[in-house]
Chains A and B, each alone.
Chain A
Amino acid sequence: MISVQNASFNYPDGPQVLHGVNLEINDGEFVAIMGENGAGKTTLVKMFNGLLKPTKGLVEIDGVKTKEKSVAQMSREVGLIFQNPDNQLFAETVAQELGFSLRNFGFAEDIIQQRVNSFLHLLDLKQYAASSPFVLSGGERKRVALAAILVWDPKHVIMDEPTIGQDYLQKERLRNFITQLVSQGKAVVIVTHDVEFVAECKPRVVLLSHGTIIGDGPATRILTDPTLVEEASLTMPQIATLMNGLTSDNASQEIIEVYAARDYLLEKLRANATPEQRIRRVS
């Protein structure tokens, strides 16, 4: 469990970035942290692996205070994938990049090979095993950075803006992948601006604005609350905007993605549409 208790943070001689944040994230829970540029999202998640320590308050991972451990010890428990993969990548080949931490942790060479291969496969990177990470596209480098952390099987996984540079199919793959991690009992936390991705995943959403949590609840509720959405510089998912303008029916007000919208509309349409509005089916 990730537990943040009344945590504040300010950079030395800098403004206060977080103000008394309280947050508990359980094992096997999927949370999206959202909010405007500069809201403090990245600062908050950097406290989860001890990279930053709260200037006031407390962060505990599975009951261990991050203040009492080194970043190296904490990172084994909490894998943090940075927004910019170039802050993380340095090895000559993708395969070496994936093997680096495992060698550092002293795993046996055959286990290293096995794990590296399986993660190259899982993240669709097999064809790049011998390539330099720096010749890959931005989206591909992001997947290398993700694989390089997941390969050591951290207990919890934090991803900062994982969907930037990813196309639609890769986002779908990422979504399935996150579901797998969650089902393994890991807490998975993403920091993201990608409203449509969140609408499709429907995680718990924590809204941060000016260093304070202003909303915390299911995506269906948070992303359809016009006041919260406005305050956090978000936009409503396109489907929520559509449904909002289309009906005032309560049942439709928490619909945020296409499949739920389709189910709702089919029911209404079947009751309403005239025969000429139907497409004549040719078998």
Chain B
Amino acid sequence: MEKATFSIEKGKFVLLTGPSGCGKTTLCRCLNGLIPNFYSGELTGELEIDGVNVEGKSTAELATHVGFVFQNPENQLFSLSVERDVGFGLENLGVPREEAIERVQWAMRATGVFELRDRAPHELSGGQQQRAAIAGILAMRPNILVLDEPTSFLDPKSAEEIVSVIAKLGHDLGLTIILVEHRLDIVSRYADRVIVMDGGKIQLDGPPREVYNDQARLIGIGLPRVTMLAHLLRKDGFNLFNPVTVEEASSELRRLLNT
């Protein structure tokens, strides 16, 4: 990663994308202190999260600011019940029992796994597991959620469901969401802003409609299919703006087709 400069306002939903090896996972690891605390390497510049300078802060300390959700929920779940799993992080932080119970229940309700609280995580579907993993992170009350391709192991329906749960959490709780994804088709509708990285650098940064331009296509990110379609039709001489969702594409095309 090289000379990355950006700031993200509280409560925004930011989509971070780019070809593999572009530096997005490295950037995420900086946000929760895994870099420089766990990975060796050279980190220069400054990084401030929630007004706290990351340098010298332990990962445990940062965990109350930044929650991290991984690709495969199975790597994050290991207890005998959903409830215990959701409470595991809090136990580690030494949160008093009464408060911990309250927070666990709140987090399970917010992610819709409360009814599943006595079930073993490995008995759940992939989507339910990912929601349980998010609940465990949420219970630590971070202001920022970083999610590294949280849908890639899920079937399409569960993937859509998880992304809408994430967007709802961001909206209802005022959380800042940083979502790393290749599947722009399903996440673009929620994003306030898209950051595209390539070769360790931030190449594009802005609202999805503006970022999904020819340069983004050349970098090789998989634009939403409706956006690709608009690019192709523009090349053939039709004047339509960049749709990001099916609904937008549909109304643009209806306008052109006079239907």
**A196 sits at the interface (CB 8 A):** yes
Interface size class of A (residues with CB under 8 A): 35 or more
- Contact across chains for A278 and B238 when beta carbons are under 8 A apart: yes
A residues near B222, Cβ cutoff 8 Å: 167-168, 171, 196
Given contacts A242-B226, A242-B253, A262-B232, 15 further A-B contacts (CB under 8 A): A36-B158, A37-B125, A37-B127, A37-B155, A138-B20, A161-B153, A167-B220, A235-B156, A238-B185, A265-B229, A269-B256, A269-B257, A278-B238, A279-B238, A279-B239
Give B176-187 as 1s and 0s: 1 = Cβ < 8 Å from A's Cβ atoms.
Answer: 000000110110
Q: A247's closest neighbor in chain B, by CB?
A: B259
- Could you tell me which residues of chain B, from 221 to 241, have a CB within 8 Å of some CB in chain A? 221-222, 224-226, 228-229, 232-234, 236-239
**A108 sits at the interface (CB 8 A):** no
Task: Specify the main secondary structure of chain A where it touches its partner.
Answer: helix
B residues near A199, Cβ cutoff 8 Å: 225
- Contact across chains for B249 and A234 when beta carbons are under 8 A apart: no
B residues near A268, Cβ cutoff 8 Å: 257
Q: A167-B220, A169-B19, A279-B237 are in contact. Are A245 and B152 (CB under 8 A)?
A: no
- Contact across chains for A165 and B149 when beta carbons are under 8 A apart: yes
A residues near B71, Cβ cutoff 8 Å: 138, 165
- Contact across chains for B156 and A165 when beta carbons are under 8 A apart: no
How many A-B contacts are there with CB distance less than 8 Å? 132
Cα A277 to Cα B183 in complex, Å, equals 31
Most chain B CB neighbours (cut-off 10 Å) among A35, A140, A246, A272? A246
**A251 sits at the interface (CB 8 A):** no
B residues near A72, Cβ cutoff 8 Å: none
Count contacts on B: residues with CB < 8 A to the other chain.
46
- Contact across chains for B236 and A167 when beta carbons are under 8 A apart: no
Cα A161 to Cα B152 in complex, Å, equals 10
Q: A262-B232, A262-B233 are in contact. Are A140 and B20 (CB under 8 A)?
A: yes
Q: A35's closest neighbor in chain B, by CB?
A: B155
- Contact across chains for B256 and A273 when beta carbons are under 8 A apart: yes
Q: A36-B157, A37-B155, A277-B238 are in contact. Are A238 and B224 (CB under 8 A)?
A: yes
B residues near A140, Cβ cutoff 8 Å: 20-21
Give A179-207 as 1s and 0s: 1 = Cβ < 8 Å from B's Cβ atoms.
Answer: 00000000000000101100100000000
Instruction: Return the contact of B229 from the options A139, A167, A239, A272 (Cβ within 8 A).
Output: A239
